[in-house]
Structure 1
Amino acid sequence: MTTTWKKASFMGVSALTLMALAACGNGGTDSSDSAASGGGSDSSVLNISVGADYVDYVNEVKDEFEKEHDVEVKVTEKDMFEQMDALPLDGPAGLGPDVTMSPFDRVGQGGSQGSLAEIELPDDGRYTDIDKRQVTLDDKVYGQAATAEALVLFYNKDLTSEAPETFADLEALSKDPKYDEGKYNLGFLAKWTDLYFTYGLISGYGGYIFGDEGTNSQDVGLNNKGAIEGITYATDWFQNVWPEGMLDVTANNDLITDYFTSNKTAAIISGPWDANAYKEAGINIGVTKIPTLKNGSEYASFGGGKAWVVSNFSKNKELAQEFVTFLTTEENQDKLYEMRSEVPANSKSQEKILNSDDEVSKAVIEQYKVSEPMPNIPEMAEVWAGGQNMLFDAGSGNMTPKEAADNAVKTIKESIEQKY
């Protein structure tokens, strides 16, 4: 998995509607659409739509629910994003599922557009406050968290025996001559041309995307004093430490991977999706939460993941709610981790992982705890390009950090005004 899907999921409302219309125009169906026809109108059948990688999991756990409720849980395969895009039109037409999955950043959007039903969260301690925020918009809950995801710090245990705990430790790596390459240093690298990777730095100094916990798109906080301080810190790395290729927004990810897997770099910020590739490259990796910033604050990166959601067009909403709650029990979240190796959102399941030797998942859990939910309103789609330009303009010296931030915020606000 890469970060591409996170950005791609923030499509404008009009674009989503066009895609759904196109799907309808083509029949909007594959074998899963016809199988899920009726949106759960038959009270003896509950239709569940999941991507190919979740079909086996739901089939594995559903039997107990079927026996308890005397219902057939029919599992159909459909890509998560395709399903979310199709729901606004397929639902009213009597097509589609009762229950499906959504990335966190689409939950609020689906709820505000009327595609997802408002549901209740179980009051048994399975969810933390950040889990609840991921599925809540305007005090209404539109899903139950299924998985948790966050960026982490990978380090090469053969190059540095102890995990860096602070950015002062990372700066020390950048001063170690064994990581020098000409006039540059490769001790620590991060894809800081990408706002998804840089947000923890910006937020740690006091910047933010939107005000009111990510819900007020009229209040863009990427050019306040703290944000500029974070951008200035990143700029120093670009201009005084890293090779010029780190500013190449299309190639720097591969560059970072190449340096890390060739034992030239001691530590990088990346995602858990890259862990297997590093292991296959023969790197003796260590994994930990991202170190604290020099001001003592946490690197509050975006916390991501997926949620189980109920279609607002379902005729079986009460039963669908019960199934979602069933899927997120400790037992079934343990099974999700066992089968999928994904970090479950259930706090009891996470406690077991924290007592295991799964270094990657433990780091994800610890970083997720200090992360911030990504704004789940449609306007977030207008932030990515502006954020990338901001970081490139500052890092390259085309603009000062303040000029780059002011210009980005101006562009973002204009785009939001035009489209929303």
Structure 2
Amino acid sequence: MRKSLIALAAGVSVVLTACGGGTADTNETPEPTASETTEATESPSGEATSEAPADGGTLTIWADETRVAAFQQLGEMFGEESGVTLDVVQKPTGDIGQDFIAQAPTGQGPDMIVTAHDGLGQLVENGVVAPIDFASKADLFNPVAVQAFTLEGNVYGVPYAMENIALVRNNELVQDTPATFDELIAQGKAVEGAEFPIIIQQGPSGDAYHLYPIQTSFGAPVFVTDENGDYTTELGMEGENGTKFAEYIQKLGKDGVLSADLGGDQAKQAFLDGKSPYMITGPWWTSEFVDAGMDISVLPVPSAGGETAAPFVGVQGVYVSSYSENALPANQFVDFLSTKEAQDVLFEQGGRVPALIESAEAVDDELLQGFNEAGAEGQPMPVIPEMAAVWEFWGGTEVAIINGTSPDAAAAWQTMNDNIKAKF
């Protein structure tokens, strides 16, 4: 899927360091202000727009090692159009958000960062990202991707890639998939030589993310959404539907369908070894299955509770720093990232479904199309601060129910909800 990195033009510099990027050298290339150009304007909401082309200068962007090559290539393309140099600084994935929060207010942070949408709540709470003018572009993107970068009515990042989990089928073991999860389990148990009817990774701490499609099929989303589809702080896991889900995974644990012994690596290897006809996983492992010579298909997760099995959708995108002194060219880069040309490059380099609808529709990879279809009814990972309390108790409670440590599933589930709400 990846293409070789093209030769870098002189306008793109790469810094392989964990230090901050900084802002443009205004002594050499002063940025025009809104009063110095008749083309630079503000949107009705006061957001910077990018009607005027930047007159040289440098933008600094932080990206992890898996995205540096793509943004190098985009930097060359953008520089040819705008005259602006894109300085791509490589940072470890886990450091980008926290380092940005720490360095942006000091003036040592970058103009932009590349990261996932699920850190949005913390970035906004710390005041380090600026809303972007996205109203004219929103309809061009997958609505789930736009929702992922929206908080309190403002869009804070331009999305470019989406990923979610789905049902992966070993076609050598089964060729047709039943419509319900219970029927799938029965089918898997009947496969000769299969050790597991389906593989869903858990591990000693649990894994609520991989169980979430099953949970939503019981009508028990993590949070209730409002009429605009935005998450509220009301838990959707309480009540009868949540209890039914808890009792269901308890049954799957007793039946040996779910096991805390199957962490991520163990789950992957078991599927590679042909120990199950099915696995719930994401695109990060399907390439390994294909490389191993497996014949696989990617499908939506069948419903266990009668409603649609909706996985979490993770979205990658680019944020603009609220402390950047280069807001005009930064927003011009945002506009550039919204084009099919740019989104296609990011897909070719990253191998994830594009957020731009036109680019996504042009993807001819059957496995990625399968993930895209499985995530069509998905839900963005919540970005509200209250989600931190959910993660604290969620997976641990589930694994305790699965392995029998908490024999009263309904009581354990209610205690979990009470503990979560006490943290709000």
Question: Where does 1:275-354 land on structure 2 (aligned, <5 Å)?
Answer: 275-293=286-304, 295=306, 297-353=307-363
- Alignment match, 1:33: 19
- Cα gap change, 1:98 to 1:252, in 2 (>3 Å): closer
Measure, in 2, the Cα distance between the counterparts of 1:209 and 1:55.
Answer: 34
How far 1:203 sits from its partner (Å)? Answer: 1.7
What secondary structure does 1:286 align onto?
strand
- Alignment match, 2:409: 401
Is 1:114 aligned to 2:127, yes or no?
yes
Deviations 1:201-249 (A, max 9, x none): 11221112233456443x2232321122222222221112437xx133x
- The one-letter amino acid paired with 1:361 is L
- Alignment match, 2:245: 230
Measure, in 1, the Cα distance between the counterparts of 2:105 and 2:165.
Answer: 38
How far 1:407 sits from its partner (Å)? Answer: 1.2
TM-score (norm 1): 0.82
Question: Where does 1:36-55 land on structure 2 (aligned, <5 Å)?
Answer: 36-38=21-23, 43=31, 44-55=57-68
How far 1:187 sits from its partner (Å)? Answer: 1.9
How far 1:394 sits from its partner (Å)? Answer: 2.1
- Cα gap change, 1:39 to 1:376, in 2 (>3 Å): farther
- The one-letter amino acid paired with 1:95 is Q
C-alpha contact (below 8 Å) 1:39/1:98 kept by paired residues: no
- Alignment match, 2:374: 367
C-alpha contact (below 8 Å) 1:50/1:78 kept by paired residues: yes
Measure, in 2, the Cα distance between the counterparts of 1:100 and 1:155.
Answer: 36
**Structure with greater proportional helix content:** 1
Measure, in 1, the Cα distance between the counterparts of 2:70 and 2:180.
Answer: 39
- Alignment match, 1:105: 118
Measure, in 2, the Cα distance between the counterparts of 1:40 and 1:91.
Answer: 17
Larger displacement relative to structure 2 (206-215 or 97-106): 206-215
- The one-letter amino acid paired with 1:63 is E
Larger displacement relative to structure 2 (340-349 or 378-387): 378-387
Measure, in 1, the Cα distance between the counterparts of 2:18 and 2:267.
Answer: 40
How far 1:101 sits from its partner (Å)? Answer: 1.2
Counting aligned pairs with the same residue, the percent is 25
Measure, in 1, the Cα distance between the counterparts of 2:80 and 2:276.
Answer: 54
Structure 1: gaps spanning 5 or more residues? 1-28
- Cα gap change, 1:206 to 1:294, in 2 (>3 Å): closer
Q: 2:87 aligns with which of 74, 77, 82?
A: 74
What secondary structure does 1:274 align onto?
helix
- Cα gap change, 1:33 to 1:393, in 2 (>3 Å): closer
C-alpha contact (below 8 Å) 1:204/1:299 kept by paired residues: yes
C-alpha contact (below 8 Å) 2:215/2:221 kept by paired residues: yes
- Cα gap change, 1:253 to 1:74, in 2 (>3 Å): closer
- Cα gap change, 1:264 to 1:76, in 2 (>3 Å): closer
- Alignment match, 1:4: none
Q: Please tell me the root mean square deviation across aligned C-alpha atoms, in Å.
A: 2.4
C-alpha contact (below 8 Å) 1:40/1:97 kept by paired residues: no
What secondary structure does 1:290 align onto?
coil
Measure, in 1, the Cα distance between the counterparts of 2:121 and 2:194.
Answer: 46
Deviations 1:231-284 (A, max 9, x none): 2222221112437xx133xx4434433332222211110111111222343322
Structure 2: gaps spanning 5 or more residues? 1-14, 32-56
Measure, in 2, the Cα distance between the counterparts of 1:360 and 1:315.
Answer: 42
How far 1:144 sits from its partner (Å)? Answer: 1.1
Larger displacement relative to structure 2 (207-216 or 311-320): 207-216
TM-score (norm 2): 0.81
- The one-letter amino acid paired with 1:383 is V
How far 1:359 sits from its partner (Å)? Answer: 2.4
What secondary structure does 1:123 align onto?
coil
Measure, in 1, the Cα distance between the counterparts of 2:89 and 2:263.
Answer: 38
- The one-letter amino acid paired with 1:370 is E
How far 1:348 sits from its partner (Å)? Answer: 0.7
C-alpha contact (below 8 Å) 1:148/1:344 kept by paired residues: yes
